Amino acid sequence: MRKSRLGFLLLSLLTGSVFADRLAITHVSHRYVVVRGDTLWGIATHFFRDPWRWPGIWNRNRQIHNPDLIYPGDVIVLRFQHGHPVLINTGPAAATAAQAAVQARAGTSPGQAGTSPGGIPTEVLYPKIRSQALRAPVPTIDPGAIAPFLRRPLVLSSGALRRLAYVGAPMHRHTYIGGPFSKFYARHLGPHPAATYEVYQKGPLLATAHGRRLGYEVLYVGRARLIRPGKAAVLELVSAVREVHAGDRLIPWRQQPPIPYYYPRAPRHPIQGAVVASGHNHANLGTYAMLALDLGRKAGMRRGYVLRIYTPARRLRDPVTGRSFEVPRRPIGLVMVFRTFAHVSYGIVMQARQEILVGDPVAGP
């Protein structure tokens, strides 16, 4: 049975004269029927130009932290109370229509008290539709966009890398480790080795523009299973996306975690940082690209935080006077953080007005 029908989703979003500056409503229909394949971010975009400001689901109603929020078939309606917009989930379209028809025939509203011709107190009742969640609820963003990155890539310090087990050498001489069922020796698995390991290669060093080291990005190579334990343990490659090299690190395999439900919101304190890496191995980034930021848990970053991406401020030469003048930074996109480490966070670009580059600054919106 559905745990939450949401009822009135939103309280007043923002108060005072700043409302118009903070939340712009799109000029589209104020009624939307949720369909399969929708995301909460996309539904919010139907109503608001800044979809992450849909606080009734993602911010204000912090007590709602379960997946039973919105399902395909639900009807979302935008209304106004005291001059402020309010979003209402009226439930499945079929249930809403049935209730409206019953009310129309009865000429009254549900639960309305009255008096029969004989003077006997009465109360109007009507059938209610009880729905069950037969399909998955609407996710915040497209799960396919972030699923490969929930555990990959990883960011590790040099010390953490040194403590990991690693690939020693191929089991058979004059062969490479890359094809299915390739066997290799592994070192320092410990007295209680795992049954399955993931293989990672040491990737680029992530650093700030001022040279502060944030950690090494390690790149996923493949998965291997333990054949024989020991000081020269033997592992067999099960799958691989690139060739395995001696020195590649081994991390015990863990079950892929389920896709979490994200609640986009602005950081609670001022935050400024920059894009330090691209997860797609190319310089120009757009919508649904994955990127790394030089902000981590120690800087207060949390899963679901939304930051605005800017072009950097720069100085240009005036072609007439020859003097330099400053061009201020301008917003070009939004990124939502979905995974955090101590000094690095990974985010997905939700909006991009133009290409985003490594080095572009980010800040709370």
- DSSP strand pairing (84-92 vs 113-115): unpaired
For residue 165, the SS3 value is strand
pLDDT at 174: 63
With cut-offs at 50, 70 and 90, classify the pLDDT of residue 295.
Answer: very high
Q: How far is it, in rounded angstroms, from Cα 57 to Cα 41?
A: 11
Q: How far is it, in rounded angstroms, from Cα 56 to Cα 64?
A: 10
* Lowest-confidence segment of 58-72, 91-105, 283-297 by average pLDDT: 58-72
**222 vs 68, which has greater pLDDT?**
222
Taking alpha carbons only, the member of 188, 278, 182 closest to residue 222 is 182
pLDDT at 309: 95
Q: What is the overall mean pLDDT for the chain?
A: 77
User: Is domain 272-363 in CATH 2.60.40.1180, yes or no?
Assistant: no
Domain ranges of the chain: 1-135, 148-252, 272-363
pLDDT at 229: 94
In the predicted model, what is the mean pLDDT of residues 262-277? 88
**59 vs 79, which has greater pLDDT?**
79
Instruction: Give the torsion through C-alpha atoms of 247, 251, 257, 261, to 10 deg.
Output: -60
With cut-offs at 50, 70 and 90, classify the pLDDT of residue 345.
Answer: very high
b vs e for 143-158, b when ≥16 Cβ sit within 10 Å of the residue's Cβ? eebbeebebebbbbee
Q: Is the pTM of this model over 0.85?
A: no
Radius of gyration of the chain (CA): 27
- Render 18-30 in DSSP notation, one character per residue: THHHH-PBPSS-S
Q: What pLDDT, in 10s, does the model give residues 19-56?
A: 334 556 765 667 888 888 888 788 888 887 777 776 55
Say if residue 243's pLDDT is above 70.
yes
**220 vs 85, which has greater pLDDT?**
220
pLDDT at 117: 57
% the chain with pLDDT above 90: 34
pLDDT at 116: 52
CA–chain centroid gap for 122, Å, is 51
Instruction: Give the torsion through C-alpha atoms of 278, 284, 287, 288, to 10 deg.
Output: -30
Handedness of CA 257, 308, 23, 41 (dihedral sign): negative
With cut-offs at 50, 70 and 90, classify the pLDDT of residue 238.
Answer: very high
Instruction: Give the torsion through C-alpha atoms of 104, 105, 106, 110, to 10 deg.
Output: -40
Separation of first and last alpha carbons in the chain? 38
Q: What pLDDT, in 10s, does the model give residues 160-215?
A: 999 999 999 998 876 677 777 889 999 999 999 999 999 999 988 999 888 899 99
In single-letter form, the type of residue at position 140 comes to T
For residue 121, the SS3 value is strand
In the predicted model, what is the mean pLDDT of residues 286-295? 88
* Lowest-confidence segment of 3-7, 52-56, 234-238 by average pLDDT: 3-7
pLDDT at 10: 32
In single-letter form, the type of residue at position 224 comes to A
| 55, containing H or E segment | helix 55-58
**259 vs 11, which has greater pLDDT?**
259
Say if residue 300's pLDDT is above 60.
yes
- Render 215-278 in DSSP notation, one character per residue: EEEEEEEEEEEEEE-STTEEEEEEEESS-B-TT-EEEE--PPPPPPPP--B--SS--EEEEEEE
